[in-house]
Amino acid sequence: MKLNTYLASMNQKLGLATKINEKSANIGIVGLGYVGLPLALSFVEAGFKVIGFEIDDFKTSKIKNNESYLKHISSERIQVAIKTRRFETTADYKLAHEADALIICVPTPLDHHLEPDMSFVKDTINALKPSFRKGQVISLESTVYPGATDEEVVSVLEAQNFKVGEDVFVLFSPEREDPGNAKFHTTNIPKVVGGTTPTCLEVGVTLYNQVIEKVVPVSSTRAAEMTKLLENIYRAVNIGLVNELKTVADKMGINIWEVIDAAATKPFGFTPFYPGPGLGGHCIPIDPFYLTWKAKEYGVHTRFIELAGQTNWAMPEWVVSKVVEALNQNAKAVKGSKILVLGLAYKKNIEDMRESPSAELIKLLSAKGAQLYYADPYIPVYESEHEPKIKMESVSVNPQVLSEMDCVLLATDHDIFDYNLIQKESKLVVDTRGRYRKALPNVVLA
């Protein structure tokens, strides 16, 4: 590196680091969903000016009205952020030029072929491209396959004649949000950061140290990308294991929850995972396929990961078979039976329905002719994405409603539900979450 180039690079790095440390840097958060909104508020609360880029009119209007659209983020927190005059939202990507740091938090779903859909990332980078300038740090937090930061971010910057690590600084820092978790939140969850170059990493650590209690640097963006996938593949594979063991234990007349609880008393060498009606959320059902897709490029077939995925995807069918069997024991056919699905969110105490197994349960039971109802206080209206369209409103969980049902299917165990009432007033309960932990006269564990 020529001396002048080196000095220019150091000036960019030191100038940006100084701005960050003095909290005079402008932070741009692209995507104000489950990841972006709490991160944006954390930077505001740390003393930074934040521009939130969001194309969803519903979200921007809610924020402008001092209201939250996420259950675990209070409206009061948004009100306080707005009162500081350091938080604004916009759909105008031209304002990204004002940002010293751009943090991208957009979805990365799978397409119909279970292959990565990178369109949100690509569209975001293209929208930001005219606003990229020297002295910026760009951090991608969306879950991607190893190498995606290089392919989708670095390549675009280099095509604009930016020198990454000298003119601009590129990071990958995987989100680790867990909505509804009262113990862990944005600022106290350790943050993994990988940089395209060592200089990028230095800037990245400086940036995230402002709002995160512990920053964990790794050697590259690819290592950081792989870290995120490992975390969720680990969970997916272990959940797949206990889901498979659940079906075996059921055939043997063994209570799998009793077995897991007993095994969990071992103080070493065992981590408890629990079965359910299938996988939900934006991470565990999706992330493993980002690696299996990329691994094929290297001639590697990830059979272990794919097998776990197949097991987890099969769980809704297995649960429906347990409902059919339980109704049959009560001399009822599933066709025409009134079935109440308890909980639509993919996990308890949140309003997030992404990839929720409850949607698949409703689809399967509807196809069998059941009269379906649902109760979820966090999701007042449900409309299916598949054909034929199903649209329902949440019902109240009260003695009259429960007594009218032929079966209550516990799909998501929100703490707000009165489980004593449900068990007492229902003819039949099929429990997919182990809330009752043991079979009762009218409770079937599934």
pLDDT at position 237 is: 95
Give the list of residues 6+ apart from residue 424 with CB closer than 8 angstroms, or none: none
pLDDT at position 70 is: 93
Burial class (CB in 10 A: 0-12, 13-18, 19+), 105: buried
> Amino acid identity, residue 88?
E
pLDDT at position 6 is: 55
Number of H helices, E strands in the chain: 16, 15
pLDDT at position 285 is: 78
- Assess whether the region 3-219 and the region 258-445 belong to the same CATH fold: yes
d(Cα 65, Cα 313) in Å, to the nearest integer?
40
d(Cα 381, Cα 325) in Å, to the nearest integer?
29
Give the chain's radius of gyration (CA, Å).
Answer: 24
Closest by CA to 409, choosing from 355, 368, 352, is: 368
Closest by CA to 425, choosing from 405, 446, 399, is: 399
**pLDDT tens for the chain, residues 1 to 446:** 455 555 556 667 778 999 999 999 999 999 999 999 999 999 999 999 999 999 999 999 999 999 999 989 999 999 999 999 999 999 999 999 999 999 999 999 888 777 889 999 999 999 999 999 999 999 999 999 999 999 999 999 999 999 999 999 999 999 998 888 889 999 999 999 999 999 999 999 999 999 999 999 999 999 999 999 999 999 999 999 999 999 999 999 999 999 999 999 999 999 999 999 998 877 777 888 889 989 999 999 899 899 998 999 999 999 999 999 999 999 999 999 999 999 999 999 999 998 899 999 999 999 999 999 999 999 999 998 877 788 999 999 999 999 999 999 999 999 999 999 999 999 999 999 999 988 789 999 99
Query: Model's pTM, two decimal places?
Result: 0.91
DSSP type of residue 84: T
Domain ranges within the chain, ordered by starting residue: 3-219, 258-445
- Domain 3-219 CATH (choose: 3.20.20.70, 1.10.1200.10, 3.30.565.10, 3.40.50.720): 3.40.50.720
Closest by CA to 46, choosing from 170, 154, 186, 235, is: 186
d(Cα 41, Cα 38) in Å, to the nearest integer?
5
To which residue do tokens 């997030």 refer?
Answer: 352
d(Cα 440, Cα 446) in Å, to the nearest integer?
13
Which listed residue (105, 200, 283, 407) is catalytic? 283
Q: Tell whether domain 258-445 is in CATH 3.30.420.250.
A: no
pLDDT at position 114 is: 77
Please, are residues 96 and 269 in contact by the beta-carbon 8 Å criterion? no
In the residue annotation, 283 being an active-site residue is answered as: yes
